[in-house]
Structure 1
Amino acid sequence: MSLYVTIILDGAGVGDAPDAAAYGDAGADTLGHVVRQQRPDLPNLTCWGLGRLVDGLPEAEAPAASWGRMTERAAGKDSTTGHWALAGLVLEQPFPTYADGFPPEVIAAFCERAGVDGVLGNKPASGTAIIAELGGEHERTGQPIVYTSADSVFQIAAHVGTIPLEEQYRLCRVARDEVMVGAHAVGRVIARPFAGEAGTYERISAKRRDFSLLPTGPTLLDVLRDAGVRTVCVGKVASLFGGQGVDEEVKTAGNDDGVRKTLAAIREAAASGEPTFVWTNLVDFDELYGHRSDAVGYARALEAFDAALPELEAALPEGAVLTLTADHGNDPTYPGSDHTRERVPVLRYVRGATEAADLGTHPTFAAHAADVARYFGVPWNGPGSPLGAS
C-alpha cells in the first residue's frame, strides 16, 4: 500500500535562515540552542540523523533516515504561512500583523457587526497573561477580550460562564467573514475560551476553534484528494487550511495525544490498504515551550517524542514514508516570545530501506509538497522539487 506520514514538530527550526536578520531573528537556532543548553537524551532522533543537522548531537555513521533542510521562501513566519508553503502554496505577500493592536476602525466594525458594546485588551499579548490581566473585568462587563500576537491572528478570549461557547464562535465567524477581510484578512481568527475563577483561570484547549482564511490557490491536499489519495490531518493542520482538501480531521490535546492519534491513523490506513497521506502537527513545542521561553520544557518534549519514535516506525507498513519537519522556528532561548525565522529540518524515513542520503538544503518548503506528490505518483505542477532532487 501507499502511505506517507508527515509530522510537524511545530516551531522546531534549525537556524541559519539567510533572511533571519530582516525578521529581527539573526542568530536564532531553536533545536541547536535547546540541544546545546539542555542536553536532552535523544537516542532515536540521533540514530535517524538529527546530529547531521544540529550541532551538539553525535553524528550517526549510518543514519536510519535521510536528512536535509528546507528554507522558507514565503513572506512571513507564522503557522499558516509555513503549512501553506509545505503544501506548495508560497505566499509572496505576508498576512497583516498588528504590533500596536487593531486600528479603531477594525474594532468599531467588529463591535457594530457582532453586536457588542466594546472590547477589552486590543493589544499583542500572551493568551494566558491577558486572561489573567483582564478576566475579572471581562466577567464584570461582559465585553470579550480581543488580542493578537506576532502572528497574523485576531483572537477572542471569553469565559464560558460569561459568553457561552456558541456565542464565542459566532463572534469569531463575524470577525472572520465580515471584518477581517480585504487589507485586514488575517491568517486566523481564533476562539480562546476559558473557565475557572479569577487567579486560577484556565484555557479550555479542547474547545479552541480556529477560523482560518481559505487557501488562495490549490494545495497539496487538493491535488492528492483529487487523485484519490485519502488525506488525514491530525492536530491543527486541517484548521490552517479551513478544512479544504481534507478528508478527515482528527483533533488533539497536545503532543502525546497527537502521537497516539497518528499511530491510530497509520494503523487504520495500513489495514484499509487505501493510499493515504497523514499530516500531523505536534503543537506543544511551539505553544507551551517556544512562546513561553521554556527551554527545559522544550527539551523534555523532545525526549518524549524521541521515546515514541520506535513505535511510530514499527507501525509503518513496508515502503511507507515518515518525514519529520517543522513550519518555522520558535527559539525558547531567544529574546522575546515570538516565532523565529529559521530553516527547518527534514528527516525522511522509509520503512524497509537500507540506505539513507543527504537531501541537501532546499530553497523552499514546497519541496515537501513535491516529495509527497512524487511518492504517490501524482503530477505536481507547483513550486519545489522533491526532497533530494535538484
Structure 2
Amino acid sequence: MMGNAYVIVVDGLGVGAQEDAAEYGDESMNTLGHVSEETGVRLPNLQKMGLGNIIPLASVEENENPLAAFGKLREVSAGKDSTTGHWEIAGIHLGKPFPTYPNGFPEGVLQAFCEGIGVEKVLCNKPYSGTDVIRDFGEEHLATGFPIVYTSADSVFQVACHEDEVPVEKLYKWCEYARNEVMAGEHEVGRVIARPFKGKPGNFERISDKRHDYSSIPPKNNLVQKLYDFRVKTYSIGKVADLFAGEGFTQYRPTKSNAEGISQLLSLMSAGLDNSFVFVNLIDTDQLFGHRLDPAGYAGSLAEFDRAIPAIVSKIREDDLLIITGDHGNDPCSESTDHSRESVPLLVFPKNSAKAEDLGTGKTFSNIAKTVAEFFKLENDFPGSSFLG
C-alpha cells in the first residue's frame, strides 16, 4: 500500500500580521493570538501537537515535546481571500489580486447580467453582510422578483434569491451565466456565489447547504490537477473543489458544517484509502464567526476541531502525512469583518517526516504543494521548498 496525504485548512486561521500587512490595513491583526487572549479557549489536543509553539498564546501553552513539527507560512500572492490562499497552497502564485468592488459593481456589469438573465434590475449592489442583505432586501425581492446582487471585501459577485421566488436550479443558471459571460476579463472575480435563502420577512434564513461557488478556473499546473493526472486519487471535503472550479478531483464531498467535514474526513480515513490526497476546508471559523466578529463562536469552533484531533491522529498510518494550516486570517476581535493579511499556522504529523521540529517561517504557502508533490514522488517545479526529511 502507498501512503495518503491529508491537508486540513482551518478557514480564516491566521497567526499574526505579515510584513506587508500594512499595505492591506491589517498590521494589527492576529486571529489566533487575539482569540486566545479574548476567550481563554483551551485546545489541549492542538497544544499537544505544538500549536502553542508557533506563536505565544495566552491560553495554549508551549509543548516541550510536541507530536507534530510546527511553524508558520507567509503568503506571497497578492490578495487575502480563500481562492488565493488555497491556490497558493496548491502551488499557484498570483501576481495581482482578483478585483474587488468596494463601491458596488459598474453599471455595465449589472446591465450585462440583467440582459442575460432577463430581469429589469438588481437590488442592493453594495458590499454587505450575507445575513443582513436578505434581512434588508428580502421583502423587496419577494415583491419584485429582482435578484439581490452584492459583494464583500473579497473578490466575489454574490446573488441571493428566495427559493420560492427563484428556484435554486434557476439561481444556479443565473450564476453560471454571470461566471462565464459577465465576470470575465477585467472583471474576473475570484468567485461568483449563489446564495439561496428561505423563510418569511423578519425571519429569512440562508440555505447554506445549497450555496454554490463558481470559481475562476485555476491554471492547470496546480498540485490537485497534477496529482490527478499522476493517478493519485484526489478528494475534496468542504468548499475546496468549488475554489478549483471542480477540476482535478476524483471525488467531491460538500459539507454543511465543520462537524460534517470532520465526519466526512474520518469516514474517508476509515475506508482503507491508498495513494490518495485529501484536501479539507473547515469553513465555520471564517464564515460563521470571523466575518461576524464573534470571538466566542470562533473559539468554540476551534475547540470542536480540537476534540477531533485524537480521532484524526489515530487514523494516520506510518506512511501517511497530515498537514494542518490556514488560508488567511479573519480576526473576530478586530473592528473589520474582512479577511486579514496574516501568516498561517503549520503543523506536520508525524513530525519525524519533517526536516526539523521547528520549521520556522516558510516563505510561501506553496511549501505545502512542494511537500505533497515530493511525498507522492511527483516531479514538479512548484515554488517554495519541501519540509520533508
Question: For the superposition of Structure 1 and Structure 2, which TM-score range results when normalised by the shorter chain?
Answer: over 0.9
Q: Which residue of 2 aligns with 1:308?
A: 308
1:46-61 correspondence runs (5 A): 46-55=47-56, 56=58, 57-61=60-64
The CA RMSD over aligned residues, in Å, is 1.4
Q: Which residue of 1 aligns with 2:101?
A: 98
Q: Which residue of 1 aligns with 2:277?
A: 277
Whichever residue aligns with residue 328 of structure 1, its letter is: H
Whichever residue aligns with residue 79 of structure 2, its letter is: G
1:159 & 1:92 partners in 2: Cα distance? Answer: 38
Q: 2:153 aligns with which of 126, 150, 153?
A: 150
How much does 1:216 deviate?
Answer: 2.8
Q: Which residue of 1 aligns with 2:211?
A: 208
How much does 1:37 deviate?
Answer: 1.2
Question: % of aligned pairs identical?
Answer: 48
How much does 1:355 deviate?
Answer: 10
How much does 1:264 deviate?
Answer: 1.0
1:70 & 1:324 partners in 2: Cα distance? Answer: 11
Whichever residue aligns with residue 376 of structure 2, its letter is: F
2:8 & 2:354 partners in 1: Cα distance? Answer: 22
Instruction: Check whether the contact 2:354–2:387 (CA below 8 A) recurs between aligned residues.
Output: no
Is structure 2 residue 314 aligned with structure 1 residue 333?
A: no
1:240 & 1:328 partners in 2: Cα distance? Answer: 14
Instruction: Check whether the contact 1:89–1:217 (CA below 8 A) recurs between aligned residues.
Output: no
1:84-163 correspondence runs (5 A): 84-163=87-166
What SS does the corresponding residue of 1:84 show, helix, strand or coil? helix
Instruction: Check whether the contact 2:326–2:344 (CA below 8 A) recurs between aligned residues.
Output: yes
State the TM-score, normalizing by the size of structure 2. Answer: 0.97
Q: Which residue of 1 aligns with 2:84?
A: 81
- Deviation digits for residues 268-289 of structure 1, max 9, x if unmatched? 2xx24x2001010000000000
- Deviation digits for residues 256-302 of structure 1, max 9, x if unmatched? 0000001111222xx24x20010100000000000000000001111
What SS does the corresponding residue of 1:324 show, helix, strand or coil? strand
State the TM-score, normalizing by the size of structure 1. Answer: 0.97
Instruction: Check whether the contact 2:76–2:93 (CA below 8 A) recurs between aligned residues.
Output: yes
How much does 1:16 deviate?
Answer: 3.2
Which of structure 1's runs of 4+ aligned residues deviate more than 2 A? 351-356
1:229-248 correspondence runs (5 A): 229-248=232-251
What SS does the corresponding residue of 1:196 show, helix, strand or coil? strand
| Gap runs ≥5 in structure 2 | none
1:366 & 1:145 partners in 2: Cα distance? Answer: 36
- Deviation digits for residues 37-67 of structure 1, max 9, x if unmatched? 1111111111111111131221100000000
How much does 1:210 deviate?
Answer: 0.8
| Gap runs ≥5 in structure 1 | none
Q: Which residue of 2 aligns with 1:44?
A: 45
Instruction: Check whether the contact 1:358–1:388 (CA below 8 A) recurs between aligned residues.
Output: no
Instruction: Check whether the contact 2:69–2:351 (CA below 8 A) recurs between aligned residues.
Output: no
What SS does the corresponding residue of 1:14 show, helix, strand or coil? coil
- Deviation digits for residues 209-245 of structure 1, max 9, x if unmatched? 1111110341000111111211101000000000111
